[in-house]
C-alpha cells in the first residue's frame, strides 16, 4: 500500500506551483510555515496588487493524519446563537400576538424572560439533535478565518479522503465560506476544485506577519500589478448581476410609464399617411340587394346577374375597382391589402360590370358604391394615391358602372 502524502509534501508542492501555474507574479514572496503574531500559515504567498498595496494569500495544508480537522462537526457556539435567535423571534411573535399591553408589567416581563431562557435551551438541544448544517462547521476552515489574508486556500492530498462523501461536504463548506480548495497528487501537481472569494482587497494584511521588510524587498524587484483570477471572476459576476438588475429595473419603468403616460413605442398605423382619403371609405356596408319580384307574365324568371350585383335596375351604381382576377388570386389580393392596413374590400361577380364584363372572374372593389360617375372617378384617383403611399401596386384602380 503506497504511503499517504504528508503535509510537508503538500506544503512544498503548493509553494512551488501555486504562483507558477495560477497567479503568475514575477516578484512574489513564497514561503512555508510563516508566523503571524499569534498563528502560523502553512504557505504564505505575497505580491503587489497595485503600487504600494500588498496582497496576501495563505494556504492551510492537511493530510491524512489531520483529516479529523476536515470533517463537519457540531459547533456549540453556532448552535447556541441559533437557539437564542429563534427563541427571541418566537417570544417577539408571541408578544405581538397577545397584545401590546400584555407584557408591560413586572410579572409578565419576568415570565417572558423565563420563557426565553427555557426556549433557548430547548431549541438549542433540538438543533444539536437534528445536526443541522447551519450549526456545524469544519475546524480547518475556522482556522483559516483567523489568518489575516486577502485569499485563503485549503490544500489536501488526493489520497487524504477515503470516503468520497466527506470530500463533497468539504467542497460545499469551502464554497459556502469563500475558501479555495486544492488537491495535490503524488507528482505535486495541483487541481483547483474551488476558488477563493477575495476579501478586503485593499487591506494591508502583510503588516501582521513577521519579516515584513524582508518580504517587501522580494516583492519590489519587478512587480506585476493587476487583479487576481478570483478577483476577475468576482467582478464578472458583479457586472452580470448589475446588468440583470438594470434590465429588470428598466422593464419595470417601461411598464409603469405605459400604464401612466402612454405607449413607449408609438402605433405605426396612427400615422396620418395611413388615413383613407375623404372620398374613399373603406369598410362601409354596401347597398342592400333588392328583393326579387315575381314575374308578371307568368313565365319562369331568368337568372339575371343582378342577383349578385349592386344596382337596383333603376339607378346606376358605380364602384372603385381595385383588380379583376381569378378567384384564388382575388383572395390573395384582399389578404395583401388587409395586411397593408386596408380593410373592407369586397368581391363582386365579373358579370356585374356594365362595360368590360368578365365572366368567371372576380372583381375586387373598395366596398362602397357611388351614385354618380364623377364621384367614383374622384374616389378612384384618391384610392390610387393611397395605394402608392402605402407601397402597394396599383393593378387597376378605376371606376366602373355595375348592374
DSSP 302-338: P--GGGGSS--SSS-EEEEEEEEE-HHHHHHHHHHHH
Which segments in the chain show pLDDT lower than 50? 103, 285-296, 298-307
Q: Say yes or no: 14 and 148 in one domain.
A: yes
Q: Contact 348/363 with Cβ under 8 angstroms?
A: yes
**Structural domain includes residue 261:** no
**Structural domain includes residue 252:** no
Supply the pTM of this predicted model.
0.54
Residue closest to 14 by CA, chosen among 152, 142, 126: 152
**Structural domain includes residue 247:** no
Q: In whole angstroms, give the CA distance from residue 11 to residue 154.
A: 10
Q: Say yes or no: 196 and 281 in one domain.
A: no
Q: Say yes or no: 196 and 339 in one domain.
A: no
Q: Say yes or no: 219 and 313 in one domain.
A: no
Supply the pLDDT for residue 301. 43
Q: Say yes or no: 213 and 332 in one domain.
A: no
Q: Say yes or no: 202 and 73 in one domain.
A: yes
Domain range enclosing 18:
1-226
Q: Say yes or no: 197 and 337 in one domain.
A: no
Query: Would you state the cell numbers that stand for residue 82, as one nine-digit string?
Result: 441559533
Q: Say yes or no: 34 and 138 in one domain.
A: yes
Supply the pLDDT for residue 14. 93
**Structural domain includes residue 250:** no
Of 210, 226, 242, which residue sits at a domain end?
226
Count of domains observed in the chain:
2
Q: Say yes or no: 220 and 331 in one domain.
A: no
Supply the pLDDT for residue 114. 76
**Structural domain includes residue 292:** no
pLDDT tens digits along 205-241: 888 887 888 889 899 888 889 999 999 999 999 999 9
DSSP per-residue string spanning 339-396: HTT----EEEEGGGBSSS--TT-EEEEEEEEESSHHHHHHHHHHHHHHHHHTT---S-
Residue 27 CB partners (closer than 8 Å, separation 6+): 47, 48, 218, 219, 220, 221, 222, 223, 224
Q: Say yes or no: 12 and 140 in one domain.
A: yes
**Structural domain includes residue 188:** yes
Beta bridge partners of 192: 182
Supply the pLDDT for residue 107. 65
Supply the pLDDT for residue 302. 41
Q: Contact 5/186 with Cβ under 8 angstroms?
A: yes
Supply the pLDDT for residue 295. 47
Q: Say yes or no: 70 and 199 in one domain.
A: yes
Supply the pLDDT for residue 291. 44
Supply the pLDDT for residue 299. 47
Q: Say yes or no: 188 and 281 in one domain.
A: no
What are the CB-based long-range contacts (under 8 Å, 24+) for 347-352?
348/308, 348/309, 348/310, 348/319, 348/402, 349/305, 349/308, 349/309, 350/324, 351/305, 351/308, 351/309, 352/305, 352/306, 352/308, 352/309, 352/310, 352/402, 352/403
Amino acid at each position: 500500500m503506497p504511503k499517504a502524502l504528508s503535509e510537508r509534501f503538500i506544503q512544498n508542492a503548493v509553494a512551488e506551483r501555486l504562483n507558477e501555474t495560477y497567479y503568475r507574479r514575477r516578484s512574489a514572496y513564497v514561503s512555508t510555515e510563516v508566523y503571524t503574531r499569534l498563528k502560523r500559515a502553512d504557505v504564505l504567498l505575497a505580491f503587489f496588487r497595485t503600487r504600494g498595496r500588498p496582497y496576501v494569500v495563505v494556504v492551510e495544508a492537511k493530510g491524512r493524519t489531520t483529516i479529523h480537522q476536515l470533517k463537519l462537526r457540531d459547533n456549540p457556539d453556532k448552535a447556541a446563537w441559533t437557539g437564542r435567535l429563534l427563541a427571541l423571534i418566537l417570544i417577539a411573535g408571541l408578544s405581538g400576538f397577545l397584545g401590546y399591553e400584555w407584557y408591560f408589567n413586572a410579572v409578565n416581563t419576568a415570565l417572558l424572560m423565563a420563557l426565553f431562557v427555557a426556549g433557548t435551551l430547548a431549541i438549542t438541544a433540538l438543533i444539536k439533535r437534528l445536526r443541522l448544517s447551519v450549526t456545524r462547521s469544519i475546524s480547518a476552515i475556522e482556522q483559516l478565518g483567523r489568518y489575516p489574508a486577502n485569499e485563503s486556500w485549503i490544500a489536501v492530498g488526493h489520497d487524504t479522503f477515503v470516503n468520497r462523501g466527506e470530500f463533497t461536504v468539504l467542497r460545499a463548506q469551502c464554497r459556502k465560506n469563500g475558501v479555495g480548495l486544492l488537491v495535490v497528487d503524488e507528482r505535486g501537481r495541483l487541481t483547483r476544485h474551488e476558488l477563493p472569494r477575495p476579501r478586503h482587497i485593499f487591506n494591508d494584511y502583510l503588516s501582521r506577519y513577521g519579516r515584513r521588510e524582508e518580504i517587501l524587498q522580494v516583492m519590489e524587484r519587478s512587480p506585476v500589478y493587476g487583479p487576481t483570477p478570483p478577483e476577475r471572476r468576482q467582478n464578472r459576476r458583479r457586472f452580470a448581476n448589475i446588468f440583470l438588475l438594470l434590465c429588470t429595473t428598466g422593464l419595470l419603468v417601461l411598464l409603469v410609464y405605459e400604464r401612466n403616460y402612454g405607449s413607449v413605442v408609438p402605433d405605426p398605423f396612427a400615422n396620418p399617411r395611413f388615413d383613407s382619403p375623404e372620398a374613399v371609405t373603406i369598410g362601409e356596408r354596401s347597398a342592400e340587394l333588392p328583393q326579387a319580384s315575381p314575374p308578371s307574365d307568368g313565365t319562369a324568371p331568368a337568372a339575371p346577374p343582378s342577383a349578385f350585383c349592386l344596382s337596383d335596375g333603376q339607378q346606376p351604381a358605380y364602384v372603385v375597382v381595385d383588380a379583376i382576377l381569378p378567384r384564388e388570386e382575388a383572395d390573395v389580393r384582399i389578404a395583401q391589402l388587409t395586411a397593408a392596413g386596408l380593410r373592407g374590400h369586397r368581391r363582386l361577380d365579373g358579370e356585374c360590370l356594365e362595360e368590360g364584363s368578365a365572366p368567371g372572374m372576380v372583381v375586387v372593389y373598395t366596398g362602397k358604391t357611388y351614385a354618380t360617375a364623377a364621384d367614383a372617378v374622384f374616389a378612384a384617383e384618391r384610392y390610387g394615391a393611397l395605394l402608392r403611399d402605402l407601397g402597394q401596386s396599383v393593378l387597376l384602380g378605376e371606376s366602373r358602372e355595375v348592374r
